[in-house]
Amino acid sequence: MHLRCETALDGLRNRHGTIIDAHAAAEAVAKRNHAASEIYRTTLMQHTGTLLTAARGALDSLPPARHHAGWAARLDNLEHAADQIQQILTSSPGEPDGETARSRGEAMWPFLVTWAEHASTACDLADQQHTPAATALSGDELRKWTQIARAARSSGRLTPYESWYDADQRLITIADLQHEDETFTAVALAGDLDSPDVQVLGHYGDELEAIDASPPPVPPGVLHPAASRYAERAHSAEVSFQVLIQDVREARRASDVAEAIETAVDRYGLARGQLVRLEEFVSVCAEFAQALGTQHAQRVAGRLGALSRQFAVLTAELREAGDDLSSTVAVLPPHRTPLAHRPPGLGHPAIPTTLPVTAPPATTLAHRR
């Protein structure tokens, strides 16, 4: 619902990011708020108490860890949001319409966002009550399958399918293990796949069976704790590459193209350029890979970091080229004439279907005249 609203708002912005139809924008936001509040009211509200009780009980039973305080705070926020939503609904009972519905949806939206962002934490904690079957390997079988998995990993025959952390802070990975006879087995492993400490917990017929038999996941972490996809974004005057390409195609002066280049590489203006944004994008991807902590992710982080630095060099080179182009103070030569686009409705000259009639030969008098 939020994504549809954001898409609608983007369609109401000009190339500088300014909303050009405030009424339509308000209607899009009101529609989102109302739809989200109705879904919560009719499908989720009756279960929030049960979910939070199960999540708190599971959290209390987990082995102590420093991040449990953060999870408890999320559960507190969810409970507070549920209480506030209940108060809003109680103050405007029934099925209001018009301004009442708009006001109710607007008041509920911040608390609905809390549930949209953190409900998965409560669900993951409640799932800790799921106790998998005791199929963990031990002894000789554990050593045998662990050696098979390590050999498969080193030869590229171990393909990760899904991974998570369990309550004991172990990295659990479900993977497809290809044997030398081309057959496959789903295995559950604990630890970094490239670490000598990795162990096989069990082997199964398929991935879903392996997931069901493995320790359940705890809530995953985030790269930037303060980040939120629902936060209000300040839209700056960003110009797309499509617009810049068209500007260059229509350009007549070197300064026009230099201005387009400056837009793409601008690092300090109101709207940073696309290449600067691309450099930032690759850099934050490297930061994410680095935060994963596994050996394979560390290698990927190194590659992404190198790419980010290359983009920074490319941006600087392009800026210098744009400055050099601007210093030419040149225009395109006049022989590059644009096509004469015929105005709409004027039509095209008719193509003759018969030969023109030959004029009679001029008389002697006419010739003398």
Q: Mean pLDDT score of the chain, rounded to an integer?
A: 87
Q: What is the phi/psi pair of residue 108, to 5°?
A: -80, -25
Give me the pLDDT at residue 365, please: 32
Q: How far is Cα 233 from Cα 235, in angstroms, rounded to an integer?
A: 6
pLDDT digits (tens, 9 = 90+) for 254-303: 999 999 999 999 988 667 889 999 999 999 999 999 999 999 999 999 99
pTM: 0.79
Confidence (pLDDT) at 162: 95
At 22 the pLDDT is 92
The alpha helices in the chain, defined as continuous H runs, are 2-10, 22-39, 48-61, 68-91, 99-126, 139-154, 207-212, 241-249, 254-265, 274-292, 295-327, 364-368
CA distance 29 to 19: 13
pLDDT at 24: 95
pLDDT at position 217, please?
93
**Residue 334 backbone phi and psi in degrees, to 5:** -65, -20
pLDDT at 361: 43
* Burial status of residue 255 (CB atoms within 10 A of its CB: 0-12, 13-18, 19 or more): middle
Q: What is the pLDDT of residue 135?
A: 64
First to last CA, the chain: 87
Number of Cα atoms under 13 Å in the Cβ half of residue 341? 3
- Cα-based angle 9, 15, 21 (whole degrees, multiple of 5): 40
Structure tokens at 267: 């690092």
Question: If 0-12 CB within 10 Å is exposed, 13-18 middle and 19+ buried, where does residue 127 land?
Answer: middle
Q: What is the pLDDT of residue 345?
A: 64
Query: Which residues of the chain fall below pLDDT 70?
Result: 93-97, 133-135, 234-237, 269-270, 341-369
